[in-house]
Structure 1
């Protein structure tokens, strides 16, 4: 087998394993959003307490993002990803042993620690393995794996809960992760042969990263996007059941419809980012913010489930396109030695949103007598911030610095 074919095989294997990990981690995160419905009945939880259970995961998950990114930059992504997979799978099993509100919050906090290193390490793995001109497509394909997990997760988890109960559902999901871990130990060995000629050996310190206005702007934009993402993921199942009177299985099935359309959309946006809007990425961020705001506004006023699904689909595609664009900017505008750390801090901001969004939405719903409309207006307000900051982002293509096989940018 020649060098090119060998390297192509390496990249394919790494990307497939990253996608499996992304899919499984999404399954495990989605599980609590569906399971919180029977859990709240069993433990007698209010909406605010339900929000705290969901948010406890995001607090530790957020804390681990920069730590995991730094570890990936220092030790490589292989060790970080394998340890993370095994740890979060074991704690997923422990979730099924919860017996009270306090135990649920504690276990979900530990789950966030176990899974928290994976996202930034997976972005760093793309930087390790793929050349510049392929990174948007690699990241968008990886994001599609997460959307597949979101699409199938609600339906799969709802089916498991209906058939076996919420406790055994968590045990089954955790066992799946442990059974997959030997594949990662044997085959997960990132780093392409030809990627080195596309990458820079420039070292960048954490202090130098923080001196870049671009990093701070992306953190704020991602925070706003994540308010919408985590807020809607946490409360849409309850919204569909309580407002549109669907049962768990019907809800899980219908939520898959927007997710599958989003999979196609997110792969397409990766191709567009690589081919057509390099250096002008903020166009996607601005468009995504505006489109999502309009979609959420219409969704709150939609009387039929069909209209709700259409609005959900448009909003989902728009948000994921913006998120892929943020990490495309990181992968193409930050030296390879700092991709893990930069991604970690971006993910930190997003998961702080995960701490805030479920609890605030739960409070808003409870405060306004069960009205979900108030919660969705909170999401729209977050998008206004992302839009305003997105307008100030500059990623200007510097053609004088463009070399063969390399994309060079000046960033602000």
Structure 2
């Protein structure tokens, strides 16, 4: 392995370290959904509103984040986002109440989605050639899954060790916060070291960042890629509700609910991200084509979930069915940004293109959790979950249509990089 190759993979590993930690606090519901209800006194709708506020702020600032990624050195933006998120986590551990949590979730979006995420996407995009994009993003998702799983299970262990009550939840939140701060410090020094061995994209001047946004807006394919991400993400949001579903309908114990949530939201990245990247690059030779058929594969699995009888006797078939559905979604998440390379986005507007794409692609976070949560509060029990799962199925059908259109566009009218630059 050459020195340049070693430097490239060192940077990749460092980026995965941050990518697997920064969203733990904003997604605390993944492992602690039920404790948030029982200890913090939050309803389905309130938890959904926290997630929606986080997503609204993130969506508003994604384009700003893309401009920052084009304007400033990503080696500086990434640690700043991590350390900022960790400091907010220390405040969250004081249990500031619902109004305080709203402020925290809004500011977490500034740190993670404005400062950090577009910079991370640009850094990953610049690490690999065009024929590596499916694998690079797939391994990013898989690597994040490894870090996610280790950190989340460690936090769950802290929670249980401290009595699985208020003290346990407080300790778990502090653990997440300290991990973010430590990751930010490590990332600051290691990325600087790697920078000496491998070149980074030079930051564009502010006028160039504005021009990058305007150039990205003029490319129709970017909007279609973003809509494709939108459809994957809105189905992904529904995975959260498999967690209380197993607790309420199959009597899964609270500690096991947390473990299931970690597997469902994090560990499946380890398998799903690289699997999606491999299938997209080697079998389908197109990320958009793979996503198209993956949407279709979701429908029979969801049918099985809905038809399974409820009760403790069917807990393992229910877990297997819901995890299978989530696995397919994570293979899609692992490659849903790869079509940015297929449509020929030049590196000088990559940050702006991803910022614009995030603006639309992650927009479901603004409303999906609130809608799903409101349905469950309005229709308690099996009826509410049936409505939520039916809605997810309809959205998967729409996603299949969008991915089909994107595949045809890429096949016929992919935008050459020189044309976009011009």
Alpha-carbon distance change, 246 to 159 in structure 1, aligned in 2, over 3 angstroms: farther
SS at match of 2:400: helix
Q: Match for residue 249 of structure 1?
A: 255
- Counterparts of residues 49-64 of structure 1 (less than 5 Å): 49-64=46-61
| 1:27-73 deviation line (CA, Å, top 9, x unaligned) | 33432344342232344333212221222222222223222222112
Q: Match for residue 285 of structure 1?
A: 291
Q: Which runs of 5+ in 2 are unaligned?
A: 163-167, 202-207
Q: Which runs of 5+ in 1 are unaligned?
A: 197-201, 402-406
Per mean C-alpha deviation after superposition, the further-off stretch among 210-219 and 33-42 is 33-42
Alpha-carbon distance change, 51 to 296 in structure 1, aligned in 2, over 3 angstroms: same
RMSD: 2.9
SS at match of 1:391: helix
- Counterparts of residues 121-132 of structure 1 (less than 5 Å): 121-132=119-130
- Counterparts of residues 289-304 of structure 1 (less than 5 Å): 289-303=295-309, 304=314
Say yes or no: does 1:174 pair with 2:168: no
Say yes or no: does 1:392 pair with 2:405: yes
Q: Distance in 1 between matches of 2:319 and 2:370?
A: 24
Alpha-carbon distance change, 313 to 167 in structure 1, aligned in 2, over 3 angstroms: same
Q: Distance in 2 between matches of 1:55 and 1:352?
A: 9
Say yes or no: does 1:187 pair with 2:187: no
Say yes or no: does 1:67 pair with 2:64: yes
Q: Match for residue 388 of structure 2?
A: 375
Q: 1:210 aligns with which of 209, 217, 232?
A: 217
| 1:213-232 deviation line (CA, Å, top 9, x unaligned) | 21111222211211121232
Q: State the Cα distance separating 1:195 from its structure 2 match.
A: 9.1
Q: Match for residue 348 of structure 1?
A: 359
Alpha-carbon distance change, 369 to 255 in structure 1, aligned in 2, over 3 angstroms: closer
| 1:271-302 deviation line (CA, Å, top 9, x unaligned) | 34334544x43321211111123322322222
Q: Distance in 2 between matches of 1:326 and 1:409?
A: 23
Alpha-carbon distance change, 53 to 268 in structure 1, aligned in 2, over 3 angstroms: closer
Q: Distance in 2 between matches of 1:23 and 1:289?
A: 25
Asked whether the equivalents of residues 7 and 193 of structure 1 are also in contact (C-alpha less than 8 Å), the reply is yes
Asked whether the equivalents of residues 142 and 334 of structure 2 are also in contact (C-alpha less than 8 Å), the reply is no
Asked whether the equivalents of residues 243 and 257 of structure 2 are also in contact (C-alpha less than 8 Å), the reply is yes
Q: Distance in 1 between matches of 2:401 and 2:183?
A: 43
Q: State the Cα distance separating 1:305 from its structure 2 match.
A: 2.5
TM-score by length of 2: 0.84
Say yes or no: does 1:325 pair with 2:322: no
Q: State the Cα distance separating 1:155 from its structure 2 match.
A: 3.8
Asked whether the equivalents of residues 31 and 156 of structure 2 are also in contact (C-alpha less than 8 Å), the reply is yes
Q: Give the paired residue count.
A: 394
Q: Match for residue 404 of structure 1?
A: none
Q: 1:239 aligns with which of 235, 241, 245?
A: 245
Q: Distance in 2 between matches of 1:123 and 1:194?
A: 16
Alpha-carbon distance change, 97 to 120 in structure 1, aligned in 2, over 3 angstroms: same
Q: Match for residue 319 of structure 2?
A: 309
Per mean C-alpha deviation after superposition, the further-off stretch among 14-23 and 31-40 is 31-40
| 1:350-382 deviation line (CA, Å, top 9, x unaligned) | 432112111101111112123322122222222
Q: Match for residue 93 of structure 2?
A: 96
Say yes or no: does 1:269 pair with 2:266: no
Q: Distance in 1 between matches of 2:38 and 2:335?
A: 40
Per mean C-alpha deviation after superposition, the further-off stretch among 214-223 and 144-153 is 144-153
Q: Match for residue 199 of structure 1?
A: none
Per mean C-alpha deviation after superposition, the further-off stretch among 255-264 and 345-354 is 255-264
SS at match of 1:24: coil
Q: Match for residue 204 of structure 2?
A: none
Q: 1:227 aligns with which of 218, 234, 246?
A: 234
Q: State the Cα distance separating 1:84 from its structure 2 match.
A: 0.7
Q: Distance in 1 between matches of 2:15 and 2:32?
A: 26
Asked whether the equivalents of residues 26 and 149 of structure 1 are also in contact (C-alpha less than 8 Å), the reply is no
Per mean C-alpha deviation after superposition, the further-off stretch among 34-43 and 163-172 is 34-43
Q: Distance in 2 between matches of 1:152 and 1:293?
A: 31
